[in-house]
Structures are given as C-alpha cells and as structure tokens.
C-alpha cells in the first residue's frame, strides 16, 4: 500500500503471523542469526546478508535458496557472517537505494527496494544482538535513535496490510518516552501506520515505554505487562489473534 499515510510482535508474513504485539516473548537464543533465531519468519530464510535478493533486482519471487548450510563451529560461523554481510553491503552499494527487488512485505508500506532491505537488516541485527547479549547475561542499551527507527520500520513492514480489519474500527497509539509517537489505524481498508500528529483523535488503546521497550515488544521479546497500557486492551488482544488474508 503506497497511497495512504505511512503503521507490532514477531516479523515475517502479514500482520498476524508476521507481527503481533503482546504474544509470548520469543525465547532468546545464542544460535546463528542466519538460522532464523528469534522467529524472523520468511524474511529470515536467506540468512543475514540477503545479497542475492538485492542483486537480482525486480522479481516476482525470491532467488533460489543457497543449499549451503550455515556453519556451526564458532570461527567458521563468524567468518561466514562477515563474508555474508560484506556481500550484502557490496550489493547495496552497487544497486543504490531505489533499486526495486523482491520483498515479502510487498503489500505493505515499506518499499520493496534496496533501501527497504537495508533498513530491515539493520533492525534484525539489532534485535538479535540483544538476544545474544541476553543469552550471555550482558545486555547493553540500544542506541535510542536506532530503536526509534526500529519501531517505525516494524510498523511499516510488519503491521501494514490491505486486508480488512474484521472488528470494529480502532486506533492504537505507541508512545516512546524519547518523544516519538506512532498511530496504527485498523479499519475496513486494512491496518496502516503513520506518525502521530498533535491533532489526532484519542486512541482506542495505547502503549507507552522507551523506544527500546517498544521495539522489543513488537519483536516479541516483551509483553503488554512490560509497558504502560491505557484504553481498551481488547484491541491489542484482537490484533494479536488476527490472521489477515492478503
């Protein structure tokens, strides 16, 4: 959807399966990111680089999956990861941000181009870095500006769909204590995100926390109980249960 204003917990398929706030937290793992650790869904199937997708340009389907297995031995895994990311960076530089490519979020707000792929990879790495740090008992604060964009990116990519909302029309507001807020509109035209303006009507429900907390919430690492919730919590529960068809 590109024509309407530009919209939380696990990624990768339409709104419900690819991103629903408040589900049971995804168990943090120390396994390789490219192995789909943390529930990245179909957006993760190609490992951390994704360079074949960018290099292929516009396409109706993703390139054939590389049959090579991700290394399990630590040193080999680190070397594979570094090489994969360098291949991605090279593909992105060569393509430029506007080059179109296949993307599993094609029906949503995020653009199906090299810029959209790069943005998604940044936040996948950010959240899986948190997973690894948590597994090691050494969690570090996320950069606030990156976490803020991470919330916006997740809404744009994972909580935007033209599938009709099957309940009474509703709105959800997400407030980051750093000063940024977002709107998620749910109605017969689908689910659509937008920055929250000062003149916006009161929300049906809202969630407030730091940008890091909101990001971890939308990615399934935190639940509603970890945030300050106001309004009709049933709206969140409906969103969690929703399985839209596109």
Tokens at residue 21, please? 């706030």
CATH number of the CATH domain containing 183: 3.30.1050.10
Its domain, for residue 223, covers: 159-241
pLDDT value at residue 131: 97
Boundary residue ending a domain (133, 152, 171): 152
On the question of pLDDT at 19 being above 80, the answer is no
Mean pLDDT over the full length of the chain: 80
Query: Does 222 reside within a domain?
Result: yes
Query: Does 75 reside within a domain?
Result: yes
Are residues 107 and 212 both part of a single domain? no
Are residues 225 and 195 both part of a single domain? yes
As a whole number of angstroms, the distance between CA 154 and CA 105 comes to 11
pTM of this prediction? 0.79
Q: 68-82, 106-120, 179-193 — which one is most confidently predicted on average?
A: 179-193
Are residues 38 and 111 both part of a single domain? yes
| Per-residue pLDDT tens over the stretch 73-85 | 999 999 988 998 8
pLDDT value at residue 113: 92
| Per-residue pLDDT tens over the stretch 24-53 | 444 443 333 333 323 222 233 334 446 778
Non-local (6+) Cβ contacts of 19 within 8 A are 8, 9, 10, 11, 12, 154, 157, 158, 159, 218
On the question of pLDDT at 144 being above 50, the answer is yes
Q: How many domains does the chain have?
A: 2
Mean pLDDT for the stretch of residues 221-241: 93
Query: Does 9 reside within a domain?
Result: no
């Amino acid at each position: 959807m590109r024509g309407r204003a530009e919209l939380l917990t696990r990624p990768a398929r339409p709104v419900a399966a690819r991103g629903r706030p408040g589900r049971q937290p995804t168990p943090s793992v120390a396994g390789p990111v490219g192995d789909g650790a943390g529930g990245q869904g179909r957006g993760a199937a190609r490992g951390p680089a994704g360079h074949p997708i960018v290099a292929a340009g516009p396409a109706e389907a993703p390139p054939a999956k590389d049959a090579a297995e991700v290394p399990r031995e630590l040193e080999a895994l680190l070397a594979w990861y570094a090489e994969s990311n360098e291949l991605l960076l090279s593909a992105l530089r060569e393509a430029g941000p506007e080059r179109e490519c296949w993307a599993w979020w094609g029906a949503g707000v995020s653009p199906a181009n090299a810029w959209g792929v790069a943005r998604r990879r940044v936040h996948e790495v950010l959240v899986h870095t948190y997973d690894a740090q948590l597994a090691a008992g050494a969690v570090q604060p996320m950069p606030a500006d990156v976490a803020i964009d991470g919330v916006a990116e997740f809404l744009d990519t994972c909580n935007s769909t033209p599938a009709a909302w099957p309940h009474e029309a509703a709105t959800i507001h997400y407030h980051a204590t750093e000063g940024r807020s977002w709107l998620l509109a749910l109605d017969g035209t689908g689910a659509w995100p937008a920055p929250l303006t000062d003149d916006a009507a009161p929300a049906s429900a809202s969630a407030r926390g730091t940008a890091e907390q909101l990001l971890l919430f939308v990615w399934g690492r935190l639940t509603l109980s970890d945030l300050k919730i106001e309004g009709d919590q049933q709206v969140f529960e409906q969103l969690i249960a929703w399985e839209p068809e596109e």
